[in-house]
Amino acid sequence: MSRRSARDTAFRLFYEYSINNEFNPATMDVMRDCFDTGMNENAWDYVRRIIGAYAGNSEKVDALIKKNLKGWSINHMQKVDLAILRLGVSEILFLDDIMTNITINECVELAKKYGSDDSPRFVNGVLAGVVSAKAGADEG
């Protein structure tokens, strides 16, 4: 099973988080046992890593998203877009084994699949700002 499928599963967990403000372990169990039964252990490791990366750094991730929103508030944006951005920023900041351009591309694909017509461009723009900010921080 591909990382794309794992990212899709992680997105659904991030979406639940954007509504309930918590990651429910029972949801992951249900997804594993009922819906995403074809995913291998490497895919589930990715899901656990990305959820853990966000859970341990949620304030930093959300602050970086807020900093790169142009004319939006994190509290008023679509929950789908917020979930995708949290996933993407967590990957960019904390999963060094994934290339940034792949993260952005995969997040844009999630936005096309789950978001509104404007979501892909919005997600791409915010993530590009995050990458630029990260590059500036890495240099400084």
pLDDT value of position 28: 80
pLDDT value of position 49: 95
- Fold type of domain 3-139: N-utilizing Substance Protein B Homolog; Chain A (1.10.940)
pLDDT value of position 5: 87
pLDDT value of position 34: 76
What are the pLDDT tens digits along the chain (140 aa)?
478 888 999 999 999 999 999 988 888 878 877 776 778 888 889 999 999 999 999 999 999 999 999 887 888 899 999 999 999 999 999 998 889 999 999 999 999 999 999 999 999 999 999 999 887 776 65
Q: Is the dihedral of CA 34, 36, 38, 39 positive or negative?
A: negative
Q: Could you write out the DSSP letters of every residue in the chain?
A: --HHHHHHHHHHHHHHHHHHSS--HHHHHHIIIII-TT--HHHHHHHHHHHHHHHHHHHHHHHHHHHT-SS--TTTS-HHHHHHHHHHHHHHHH-TTS-HHHHHHHHHHHHHHHS-TTHHHHHHHHHHHHHHHHHHHHH-
pLDDT value of position 140: 56
Residue with tokens 């900010």: 133
Q: Looking at the chain, how many residues does it have?
A: 140
Q: Where are the domains of the chain?
A: 3-139
